[in-house]
Amino acid sequence: MPQDTVKSPTLSPQHAFVVQFHADTPIKAGQVTGHVEHVVSRQAITFQSLETLLTFMDCVLHEGEASQVTDLG
């Protein structure tokens, strides 16, 4: 008989972000600008590049040191 296993959710609120892009962001050209906020901690920054956006997310998720990336904008 197969055992019922309880799986943990793969999408956790701890890993949720709201990302808002500026209306004139040329995404097709590989450029992104906007605002990102971590849902649980409410830490947020304005970003001018994909690198800054991803660095912020990585810091929040893995190190909890998002305040270090506020000057990257």
Tell me the per-residue pLDDT of 12-69, one tens digit each, with 9 for 90 and over.
888 999 999 999 999 899 899 999 999 999 999 999 999 999 999 999 998 654 444 5
- Cα–Cα distances (Å) from 54 to 15, 63, 68, in that order, read 13, 13, 13
Q: pTM (2 decimals)?
A: 0.71
Residue spans of the domains in the chain: they are 16-69
